[in-house]
Structure formats: C-alpha cells, structure tokens
Amino acid sequence: MNQIPVAILVRVSTNKQETTRQVSELSAYAESKNYQIVEIVEECVSGRASVDDRVGLKRIEELASTKQITKVLVHEISRVARRNSTLHRFVENLESWGVSLYWHSQGVETLLINGRRNPAASLMLSMLSELARNEVEVLRDRIKSGLDEARRKGVKLGRKVGTGMDRDSFLKKHTDVVKLLKQGHSIRHAGKISAKGYSTIQRVKAAMEQELAMAA
C-alpha cells in the first residue's frame, strides 16, 4: 500500500518557545496513519505576520504545487495564521492543488476522501480563525486596561530614565520573576519570593503581556 505523502507545519511566535510538542504529536499521528513525512517545516514568526514574511507557508505551497505532498498537518489552526485573509488564501491554494489541511486539535481536515471540500471543516475553519483573532484583541484590551490601572496607582511604566533598557533586556534582567509569573504566582507572591518590589513585578508582567501580544 502506497504511503500518503504529507508535510508537517509547526509555528511558534518567539524563539523562547519550542516546537517539540507540536512535532512530536503530529509525527506520532502521521505514523499511526502510515503517512510518509516528506518534510517538517518549522517557523518562528508571529501568526499575524504578512505573507511575505511567512517562509514556512511559502515552502508548504511549493511542496503542494509540485505534487510532493497531498496533506499538510498542523497542531491547531492558529499555527497556520491568525490573519483570516492569510489563512483562507493558504487553504484555497492548497485545495486548488488537491492538498488537504488537517488540524490535530480538532481532528478535522479540509478535503473529504473524494477530494471535495469538507463543509464541516469550512464552517469550523471560519469559527476557529475568528476565535484566534478575537483572542489577540482580548489580550490587547487586557494589556491596555492593566497599564491604565497601573498608571492610576502611580506605577511608572516604560524605561527608567537614563537606562535605555529595552523590553528584552529588562525581561532578561528579571528572569527569576518571569519564571515565577509563568508558574502562576501572583504579583505579590512573586515579589516575596524574589525579594523585588511590587512595582518591578508589575512592570515585568506588563512587559511579558506586551511581548505576547506583539508575537501572537
């Protein structure tokens, strides 16, 4: 029995994130289906980046247009793109070449076994892409609300005068606080453990949220 040739597409937003879990789960799925993995394409780029900056998507389209693959596996639909226009154009291009997009989190793919478009996948695709877009908007609103609240409390935001320290350098300086916040500690508790001031912890949290919003 001939193996179905597939490509795996994984994406993270920053170089502080890893693709290991995505690759592992998709590779295991491909093996369970007896698929032939032609290539694993990894990207480190924002899901809202322009098409011109999406080297991974271009590589997948190259493989699809030259008939080297018949399926593309992704972990979840937001790994393809968070821009609706980019996502739908990518799916349409794949379909024009007879290539199906499968997203593992929902267990759904865009083409049926007869090569026709899957109506359920089309509906789900629209819903999930809209949810992914809304997640970014909600996060941005939360950041703005948090910054406004911090200003009302008299917390000074941004760089310290004369330091010239950018966000990445600031977060690197306070990696202990970053780790505590990622573990779910409250601002107050993180301050006690790290022996750093409340305002410093707030600034670290704000910087982390800004980084996440920009990378999403």
pLDDT at 162 over 60: no
Q: Report the pLDDT value the prediction gives residue 216, as an integer from 0 to 100.
A: 53
The stretch 47-76 carries a mean pLDDT of 91
* Pair of tokens at residue 50: 């322009």
Q: Name the residue with higher pLDDT: 111 or 183.
A: 111
Q: Report the pLDDT value the prediction gives residue 145, as an integer from 0 to 100.
A: 73
pTM over 0.85: no
- Whole-number percent of the chain with pLDDT over 70: 81
Query: pLDDT of 195-213, one tens digit each?
Result: 888 778 888 888 887 776 6
The stretch 154-162 carries a mean pLDDT of 55
Confidence of residue 172 (pLDDT cuts 50, 70, 90): confident
Residue matched to tokens 């924002």: 46
Q: Report the pLDDT value the prediction gives residue 178, as an integer from 0 to 100.
A: 87
pLDDT at 137 over 70: no
pLDDT at 169 over 70: yes
Q: Assess contact for 48 and 216: CB atoms under 8 A.
A: yes
Q: Report the pLDDT value the prediction gives residue 161, as an integer from 0 to 100.
A: 40
Q: Please give the domain boundaries of the chain with CATH numbers for all domains.
A: 5-131 (3.40.50.1390), 155-215 (no CATH)
Three-state SS letters, the chain: CCCCEEEEEEEECCCCCCCHHHHHHHHHHHHHCCCEEEEEEEEECCCCCCHHHCHHHHHHHHHHHCCCCCEEEECCHHHCCCCHHHHHHHHHHHHHCCCEEEECCCCEECECCCCCECHHHHHHHHHHHHHHHHHHHHHHHHHHHHHHHHHHCCCCCCCCCCCCCCHHHHHHHCHHHHHHHHCCCCHHHHHHHHCCCHHHHHHHHHHHHHHHHHHC
Task: Please give the Cα distance from 59 to 7 (Å, whole number).
Answer: 10
Q: Assess contact for 44 and 15: CB atoms under 8 A.
A: yes
Query: pLDDT of 68-108, one tens digit each?
Result: 999 999 999 888 887 778 888 899 999 999 999 999 988 99
The stretch 12-36 carries a mean pLDDT of 89
Task: Please give the Cα distance from 16 to 104 (Å, whole number).
Answer: 23
For residue 87, CA distances in Å to 114, 133, 179 come to: 23, 11, 33
Q: Report the pLDDT value the prediction gives residue 8, as an integer from 0 to 100.
A: 97
Confidence of residue 163 (pLDDT cuts 50, 70, 90): very low
pLDDT at 51 over 80: no
